[in-house]
């Protein structure tokens, strides 16, 4: 995780202030004096995880407020949430063995009864499996969505996003991109005139539409890939594009350019 150097220094100063305070005045949170062993235990915990100490967090925000002249401002923004696999994994577990009831009347009633019976037998195992899926799922990260060849995204960069537009009514209620599927740096800001921005929009939407939204091998029931997405998917599967380390170490040359055929 990247941290601004100034904030990193403020965090170090807050931790140092906490240590000095506890060394010179070893008083616990409840106001009682601390034994040397208890004091050393608190210092050890604070060294391992400074943000676990409310006093350090308090010092941090005090120094941030003193260092910056913050003014509360309302600015338009679009919330973009990197969801990860947790919601999908839990849903897939809960949806296991569920019968999709697309009909009404008597057959729809029988379908609902069947799902109820399935829930009686699989309810507890599903809950256990759902809890395991929740704990083992991968959290969403920006690095999972953006094209790393463009370098790290910095504040002020112009980017385009591809994802699911949603209305989040669980908070104050606002529109957001949830989840973000792809993030791409554009390397230059979008034009401000209407015609230029439309061309800019169409160009990047066309490029992002080439990204496969899913793996057809692992999810064959999903919608088929477009020809452009299939071309990208096939290119991703070639050995020379499946390196993990730098391709000079962990890569393969394309078959037509391979000076040593048969070594891969």
Q: How many domains does the chain have?
A: 3
CA distance 158 to 189: 5
222 lies in some domain:
yes
> 């995780």: which residue's tokens?
1
168 lies in some domain:
no
130 lies in some domain:
yes
Q: Domain check: are 48 and 11 in the same one? A: yes
46 lies in some domain:
yes
> For residue 88, which phi and psi values (nearest 5 degrees)?
-65, -45
Nearest in space to 86 (alpha carbons), one of 15, 138, 30, 10: 138
Structural domain of 113:
86-136
CA distance 186 to 160: 7
Residues with Cβ within 8 Å of residue 206, at least 6 apart in sequence: none
Predicted pLDDT of residue 80: 84
> What is the Cα gyration radius of the chain?
27
Averaged over successive runs of 10 residues, the pLDDT of the chain (264 residues) comes to 72 91 86 87 88 86 81 75 74 74 74 78 80 78 62 78 80 78 79 86 85 78 84 87 75 64 48
Nearest in space to 182 (alpha carbons), one of 79, 90, 80: 80
Predicted pLDDT of residue 259: 54
CA distance 61 to 52: 14
Predicted pLDDT of residue 264: 45
152 lies in some domain:
no
103 lies in some domain:
yes
Q: β-strand 159-168 against 79-81: which pairing, if any?
A: unpaired
The 10 Å Cβ neighbour count of residue 50 is 19
258 lies in some domain:
yes
Asked which of 136, 159, 174 is the last residue of a domain, the reply is 136
Q: Domain check: are 63 and 91 in the same one? A: no
> For residue 163, which phi and psi values (nearest 5 degrees)?
-175, -160
167 lies in some domain:
no
DSSP string, 6-72: HHHHHHHHHHHHHHHHHHHS-B-TTSPBPPHHHHHHHHHHHHH-GGG-HHHHHHHHHHHHHHS----
Asked which of 119, 136, 153 is the last residue of a domain, the reply is 136
Predicted pLDDT of residue 1: 45
Predicted pLDDT of residue 140: 66
């Amino acid at each position: 995780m990247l941290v601004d150097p100034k904030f990193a220094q403020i965090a170090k100063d807050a931790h140092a202030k906490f240590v000095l305070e506890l060394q010179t005045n070893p008083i616990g949170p409840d106001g009682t004096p601390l034994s040397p062993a208890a004091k050393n235990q608190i210092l050890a915990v604070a060294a391992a995880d400074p943000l676990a100490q409310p006093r350090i967090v308090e010092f941090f925000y005090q120094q941030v407020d003193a260092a910056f002249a913050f003014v509360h401002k309302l600015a338009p923004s679009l919330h973009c949430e990197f969801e990860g696999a947790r919601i999908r994994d839990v849903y897939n577990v809960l949806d296991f063995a569920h019968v999709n009831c697309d009909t009404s009347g008597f057959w729809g009633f029988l379908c609902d009864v069947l799902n109820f019976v399935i829930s009686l037998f699989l309810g507890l195992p599903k809950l256990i499996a759902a809890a395991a899926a929740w704990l083992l799922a991968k959290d969403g990260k920006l690095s999972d969505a953006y094209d790393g060849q463009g370098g790290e995204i910095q504040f002020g960069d112009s980017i385009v996003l591809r994802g699911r537009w949603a209305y989040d009514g669980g908070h104050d209620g606002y529109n957001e991109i949830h989840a973000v599927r792809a993030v791409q740096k554009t390397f230059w800001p979008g034009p401000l005139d209407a015609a230029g921005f439309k061309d800019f929009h169409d160009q990047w939407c066309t490029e992002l539409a080439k990204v496969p939204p899913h793996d057809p091998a692992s999810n064959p029931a999903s919608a088929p890939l477009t020809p452009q997405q299939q071309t990208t998917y096939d290119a991703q599967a070639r050995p020379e594009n499946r390196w993990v380390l730098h391709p000079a170490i962990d890569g393969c040359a394309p078959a037509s350019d391979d000076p040593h055929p048969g070594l891969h």
